[in-house]
Amino acid sequence: MKNVIIYSSKHGFTEKCAEMLKEGLRDGSNLINLKDNPIIDLNDYQVIILGSSVYAGNIQKDMKEFINNNLKVLLEKNTGLFTCNMHKREEAEDQLKKVFPLELIERSFVVTFFGGGFDFSKMNFIEKQIVKKIVKVTENVENIEQENIKMMQEKINALV
């Protein structure tokens, strides 16, 4: 069975999580950065994992557009979804329901969040101000939910 992990990452955390996810997959997986490859033929794949970081309460624009443009196919496949974010666990659960289309969530075999991090060296001036003033974080931090990555790996491995 052919798998693909398609991700959209701004500062590298979603990319890192996508790579960690791939490492635990029995049959391996193609890894596609949506920013480099915005057009993907999903008919080639049986298991499709979509991952995006969340900024200002939303997944990234390119991922949103990709989902909208491919929704019909995604609803017919074994689709899994994850976000990278810095909300607390309970809020991250709620956030998941808001950032992906409801019908896709309902049809997906796994929907979860992988945590993330703040890397000030990758942020622009405005992003730094937002994180310092609103989130009140002033240093680099990384908080990746290894358990959720493992859970998704197990669900994918059970399918293939």
**Binding region for ligand FMN (CB under 6 A):** 9-14, 53-57, 84-87, 95, 116-118, 123, 127, 130-131
Nearest to ligand FMN of 87, 107 (CB atom): 87
How far apart are the C-alpha atoms of 132 and 111, rounded to whole Å?
30
Q: Nearest approach, Cβ of 67 to ligand FMN (angstroms)?
A: 17
DSSP 135: I
Q: How far is the CB of 56 from ligand FMN (least distance, A)?
A: 5
> In the bound complex, what is the minimum distance in angstroms from residue 45's beta carbon to ligand FMN?
22
Cβ-Cβ contacts under 8 Å for 9 (sequence gap 6 or more)? 15, 16, 18, 33, 35, 52, 53, 84
Nearer Cβ to ligand FMN, position 91 or 103? 91
Q: What residues pair up with 51 in beta bridges, in sequence order?
A: 7, 82
47-55/58-59 β-pairing: antiparallel
Q: Which residue is nearest to ligand FMN (CB)?
A: 116
Residue number with CB closer to ligand FMN (55 or 109): 55
Using the minimum distance from each CB to ligand FMN, give the nearer residue, 44 or 142: 142
Single-letter amino acid code for the residue at 78: N
